[in-house]
Structure 1
Amino acid sequence: MMDISYDARIWTTRVYTGTTTTTYFVRWKVADSPFQEGFKTKALAESFRSQLVTAARQGEAFALADGLPVSLRRTENTASWFDFACSYADMKWPDSAGKSRMGVAETLATVTPALLKSTAGQPDQDKIRKALYGWVFNTRARESGPPPADLARTVQWLESNTLPVGALNEPDVLRAAMAAIGRKLDGKPAAASTTQRKRAVFYNALEYAVERRLLPRNPLAVVKVKNRKTADEVDRRVVVNIEQARRLLDAVARQGRSGPRLVAFFGLMYYAALRPGEAAHLSTSALHLPADQWGELFLPGSAPATGAAWSDNGKRRDERGLKHRAREAVRVVPCPPPLADLLRSHLAEFGTTRDGRLFGAMRDREGDLSDSVYGRVWASARTAALTLEEAASPLARRPYDLRHAAVSTWLNAGVPPTQVAEWAGHSVAVLLRVYAKCISGQEDAARHRVSLALGLP
């Protein structure tokens, strides 16, 4: 039974003025326990305070757990987590990229099994996972009709067996959800970056619950959960030098029927620091390749692989604007002569798709390039090109590591960070944080300057 008290005192609103924002704190006391809630505007704060004052004047009971009037808590508890999570996924869907939609669904599918009010008749975990990720939190799938026959019972059970949203006010319930975020499906700890990404989505979902007045405050702002540190910096061991890069590209050209068609694709990552989605989206209209000199690439967007279920166009790749830029933005990247030669050779031998793209599906030229296809080619080329010691190391383990090599090469060549950031599509702050350890020669120069300062020979 909930612990309550009729002894409630509501104090005046306290205003805190920070360097960038002003926060309005509503303060009150229930029995001997003080509470406060911060709001971004005075109007929101006064609205909330008036609810507390009205409840106190009417002699309403207040909960000792969170200081809220019982009537307000009852309103919060009317919405189930299942219904709310579906509404959150639907709210995010229209303006999100395919990868973001997948991230929302992944997080909600991770949290929901930790927010069940009963295990009676519970389907097995594989079916719950399949139902949540593949149908419940995929807005397009859910709006297109009833769930697949093999998932219908699981969906029906989930609809009836999730806790109310208001239960997340209880620390034990919230901690159970956070524990699920921190684990993989096999129960082992998830990577710190994965946990951080899912926590951000979950936090945003709870902010939406506050916006809809299903929660009085975001409980994640109150319950302290230890954050694991993430390694933002690029591991310098993955970065290839020019000799290793040439070996790898030569080996790609020898990988069966697919390899020769992908040499220029990997070359774009190494010589121009393109992301895989940017290279897959590249068309002839983006190329300026004068003979025997530097050219330019005019990147209008990207097409990251998301799968047809999550993209706007129903295709494997979701065409989007450039990362962290306006939809109409174009990024200009220099094209050195070796890359220009690769691109001209590719066009001469393989041509383009009907819509002008340089890289299409291996079998159906008009389809989208598959991540699994170029991933297999890269793995085979890496084994063929590298020594046993190099192959056993992290060196160029992923095609994306070619982009890291390109950015590192530019920085080590002395190109100003502002220019490198522009070419790579980064902010300067992110560039220096991520690639700081890949800039060679800095440590020796720093030691020399310290020696001079100390008067050492």
Structure 2
Amino acid sequence: MDALTRRLDGKSAATQTYRRRRAVVFNVLQYAVELGALNANPLSQVRRRRGKRAVQEVDRRVVVNPRQARELLTALTYVGGYDRASGRRLRAFFGCLYYSAMRPGEVLGLRRSDCTLPEKGWGRIELTETRPTAGKAWTDSGEAHDRRGLKQREAGEVRTVPIPPPLVRLLLDHVKEFGTAEDGRLFSSERGNVIAASSYSRVWKQARELALLPHQVTSVMAARPYDLRHAGVSQWLNSGVPAPEVAARAGHSVDVLLKIYAKCIDGQEAEMNDRIMQGLGEDDGTP
């Protein structure tokens, strides 16, 4: 059992790693019991090691405010030059992460037929599929990206996400300039393949260097594309959207939402401090 708590270099493994390994070993032994090779599961008698609870809350430092998000999306148009358009090709992709709080795999599987994009007003996206990176050796199709239903939902279940006019415009402009892949996917590489995580992460890194201040570039602010999803959900919550509605749009349970995503966005601390001082009815000492 001690081996389950160690990494290959001999150092202690994370609590989540230990739990995952223990679960695998337990299931293997349980299967041996079902086959009759063992009379009982010996791991049932071993007390589980108590470790520190894994941190689930989003670090508020990674969350950008709306102005910063817009500047990052604008910076993408300068990445890769005009002809290559590596950043411009992905601008609407990152817009989906922020404005509709979609997961990257969900955006990769998004098709034109999933979208209702009016010329004016709000649109709608109906999500049915996700394309997470799994590796060719681990998919039935031999493709690097697996085809799955939505996370924590039954196969074929649909999640409807209303999308604001800024994202509608981004998607319309994207379709007008780049079209769709042969299977109708909105986002694909220049050769029509599913975009690799390494590719869009590389573009995102360059956009951060263009849009953020030097000290922000070296910080954790929007360090990963996924942080745009955190920012989008946080923006909804701080705008007063009820938690059940936010959870439905983001594809979470309300419990998980409030544990992980209920964070103030960057730039609101001063406003919150002012509200507290008003409630206290005291002078903050500012001349």
**Which TM-score band applies after superposition, normalised by the shorter structure?**
0.7 to 0.9
Structure 1 residues 287 and 255, CA gap change in structure 2 (3 angstroms): same
Question: Cα gap change, 1:447/1:255 in structure 2, threshold over 3 Å: closer, same or farther?
Answer: closer
1:326 to 146, 154, 157: 154
Identity %: 49
CA gap 1:381/1:188 in 2 versus in 1, 3 angstroms: farther
1:244 partner letter:
Q
Q: Mind listing any 5+ residue stretches in structure 1 that lack a counterpart? A: 1-173, 453-457
User: What is the identity, as a one-letter code, of the residue corresponding to 1:209?
Assistant: A
C-alpha distance 196-235 of structure 1, shift in aligned 2 (>3 A): farther
Aligned to 2:223: 397
State which of 111, 117, 134 in structure 2 corresponds to 1:306.
134
Aligned equivalent of 1:195: 18
Using structure 2 for the length normalisation, give the TM-score: 0.87
Write the mapping of 1:288-299 to structure 2, written as runs, cut at 5 A. 288-299=116-127
Match of 1:269 in 2: 97
Offset at residue 268 of structure 1 (A): 0.3
Shift of 1:224: 3.7
2:285 corresponds to which residue? none
TM-aligned CA distance change 1:289 to 1:388, over 3 Å: same
Residues 373/221 of structure 1: CA separation in 2 closer, same or farther (3 Å cut) = farther
Task: Tell me by how many angstroms 1:444 deviates.
Answer: 6.5
Distance change >3 Å, CA 195–CA 217, structure 1 → 2: closer
- Aligned partners of 1:210 and 1:218 also within 8 Å: no
Rounded to whole Å, the distance in 2 between the matches of 1:226 and 1:294 is 49
Task: Give the conservation status (yes or no) of the 8 Å contact 2:234–2:263.
Answer: no
Secondary structure of 1:253's match? helix
After superposition, give the CA deviation of every residue in 1:24-48 in whole Å (9 maximum; x if it has no partner): xxxxxxxxxxxxxxxxxxxxxxxxx
Aligned to 1:217: 41
Match of 1:175 in 2: 2
Secondary structure of 1:309's partner? helix
Amino acid at match of 2:147: E
- Provide the residue aligned with 2:108 in structure 1: 280
Match of 1:228 in 2: 52
Measured after TM superposition, the shift of residue 260 of structure 1 is: 1.1
- Is the contact made by 1:301 and 1:320 (CA closer than 8 Å) also made in structure 2? yes
Secondary structure at the aligned position of 1:332 is classed as strand
Task: Work out which of the residue numbers 213, 229, 254 in structure 2 matches 1:428.
Answer: 254
- Runs of 4+ in structure 1 deviating by more than 6 angstroms, as ranges, are 439-448
Partners of 1:240 and 1:405 within 8 A in 2: yes
Output the CA distance in 2 between the equivalents of 1:429 and 1:287. 29
Residue identity opposite 2:55 in structure 1? A
Residue matched to 1:387:
213
CA distance in 1, matches of 2:205, 2:13: 25
Q: Is the 8 A contact 1:308 1:314 kept in 2?
A: yes
Aligned residues: 273
Change (3 A) 1:357 1:212: same
Using the TM superposition, give the Cα deviation of residue 190 of structure 1 relative to its aligned residue in structure 2, in angstroms. Answer: 3.4
Instruction: Give the secondary structure class of the aligned counterpart of 1:390.
Output: helix
Larger Rg: 1
Distance 1:368 1:221 in 2: 47
**What is the distance in 2 between the residues matched to 1:380 and 1:322?**
30
Q: CA distance change for structure 1 residues 196 and 397 in 2, over 3 Å: closer, same or farther?
A: farther
Superposed CA offset, 1:351-406 (max 9, x none): 001110011123x21x2211111011111111121111111211001100000001
Q: State the secondary structure of the residue aligned to 1:354.
A: coil
Q: Which amino acid aligns with 2:2?
A: R
Q: 1:252 pairs with 76, 79, 88, which one?
A: 76
Supply the distance in 1 between the matched residues of 2:42 and 2:160 (Cα, whole angstroms). 42
Which stretch shows the higher mean deviation, 296-305 or 429-438?
429-438
Structure 1 residues 208 and 314, CA gap change in structure 2 (3 angstroms) = same
Q: Following the alignment from structure 1 to structure 2, what is the Cα–Cα distance between the partners of residues 370 and 253?
A: 19
Cα gap change, 1:203/1:358 in structure 2, threshold over 3 Å: closer, same or farther?
Answer: same
TM (norm. structure 1) is 0.56
- Contact 1:207–1:218 (Cα < 8 Å) also in 2: no
In the alignment, is the contact (CA less than 8 A) between 1:237 and 1:395 conserved in 2? yes
Between structures 1 and 2, the one with greater strand share: 1
| Equivalences for residues 8-19 of structure 1 within 5 A | none
Aligned to 2:181: 353
Considering Cα pairs closer than 8 Å and 6+ residues apart, tell me whether 1 or 2 has the greater RCO: 2
Counterpart AA for 2:56? D
> Aligned-pair distance for 1:446?
10
Letter in 2 for 1:204: N
Counterpart Cα distance in 2 of 1:267 and 1:231: 27
> Within 1, Cα distance between the matches of 2:98 and 2:257?
17
Residue 163 (structure 2) pairs with residue 335 (structure 1): yes
